[in-house]
Structure 1
Amino acid sequence: MSDVNQETVEPPTEHTRPTGHFTLLLSPTPRGARLARLLGAEQLRTWGLLSEAATHVIAELAANAVTHGRVPGRCFRLTLRVADDTLRIEVTDTRGDRLPRSRPAAADAESGRGLLLVEALADRWGATEGPTPRKTIWAELKTDPTGSLTVPAR
C-alpha cells in the first residue's frame, strides 16, 4: 500500500541542526491523508523538530491532495526535507491540471481556506508543475538556532 523510503539522522545535539530526507507514497484516501499527518509528525519528532505548525501544514497539504488531486489508482507522495535552517514539506499528486490559486481563497469562500492556514504557518509556500501529470505543493518553515521550528510573525 505505501512505499516507504526514508533516510534519517540522529536528532540534533545542542550545537547541531537536524538534516534529513523522508518520503513515502500513500493512497489518495482520507486514511492516506491521516497516515501522512501521523507519520510526518513522527518523523519530525525523530529529527527533534516538535512543531504543531508543521504537523498542521502536512495535514492540510495531504488533505488537499486527497480532495483535489485524487486520481483513482494513483498515490500521492509526502516528502520532508530538513537542511540548515529550513524544513520543506512537499506533497505531490497526479492532478497537474488542478493548481491552487496563487493567493488562497478568502475566508468566506466555499473552499480553499486550508491554504490560508498554510500561508499563516509557513514562511513561504507554492506550487511546482510537472513532470506531467504531476504537481507538487510545498511549504517551508524556518528553524531557530536550536533546531525548533518557528511560526512566522505576520
Structure 2
Amino acid sequence: MDRTLLLCSTVPAEPSWAATVRRLVAERLTDLPLSADQRDDAVLATDELFANAVQHASAGPCDTVTVTVEWNARTLRVTVADRSPLPPPRPHPVDVTAESGRGLAIVAALADDWGMAPPEPGGRGKRVWFTLRRRSTAR
C-alpha cells in the first residue's frame, strides 16, 4: 500500500521544541479518519519519542531530531530519528516510581506496534517508530 508523507520536519534537539512538534503532528492528523483518542495517543507517543531523542541526542547545539508522519488507508506511522546510536538490547523493567524512563513503555501501551531501526543508508544514529491502525472513522 502506498504511504502518504504528511510531515517530515527536522528541529533542534532541544526540549523547548516539544510543543512545536506536538502542534505540527496534531495539525497533520486533523483530517485523518482516526478517532479523537487515537489522534491524542499519536501526539502523546510522538512527544515521548521526541523527549527520548532530545535526552539521548542533544550532545551539541547543532544536534537535530527528525519527525516523520506517514499515512496509508489503514495505518499511521510516526518515526523519530536522532543521531544517537541504537541502544544495546537488554530487558529492563519499568520503575513506576522513577521520574523518567517510562517513555517507551508509554509508547508501547498506546501504539499497535513500535520498534527501533538503524538510520537510513549513509546516515548515523537511529530511528524509533510506532504505528496506529485505524479503528474508527469517528472524528
- TM-score interval, normalised by the smaller of the two chains: 0.7 to 0.9
Given the alignment, which residue of 128, 134, 143 partners 2:134? 143
Q: Would the aligned equivalents of 1:104 and 1:115 in 2 still touch at CA under 8 Å?
A: no
Moved more, 106-115 or 118-127: 106-115
Read off the aligned partner of 1:111 and give its amino acid letter.
Answer: S
Given the alignment, which residue of 25, 37, 40 partners 1:52? 40
Shift of 1:98: 4.1
Map 1:1-154 to 2 at 5 A.
20-21=4-5, 22-49=7-34, 50=36, 51-72=39-60, 73-98=62-87, 105-109=94-98, 111-131=100-120, 132-144=123-135, 146=137
The structure with higher relative contact order (CA 8 Å, sep 6+) is 2
* Structure number having the greater helix percentage: 2
Q: Would the aligned equivalents of 1:68 and 1:98 in 2 still touch at CA under 8 Å?
A: no
What is the aligned-residue identity percentage?
Answer: 33
Change (3 A) 1:24 1:112: same
CA distance in 1 between counterparts of 2:88 and 2:19 reads: 22
CA distance in 2 between counterparts of 1:128 and 1:57 reads: 17
- SS of 2:30 mapped into structure 1: helix
CA distance in 2 between counterparts of 1:81 and 1:128 reads: 16
Q: Would the aligned equivalents of 1:88 and 1:141 in 2 still touch at CA under 8 Å?
A: yes
Q: Can you list the C-alpha shifts for 1:78-136, whole angstroms capped at 9, x where unaligned?
A: 00001121100100001125468566634345632111110100011110013452100
| Unpaired segments ≥5 residues, structure 2 | none
Normalising by structure 1, we get a TM-score of: 0.72
CA distance in 2 between counterparts of 1:104 and 1:38 reads: 31
Aligned residues: 130
Change (3 A) 1:100 1:76: farther
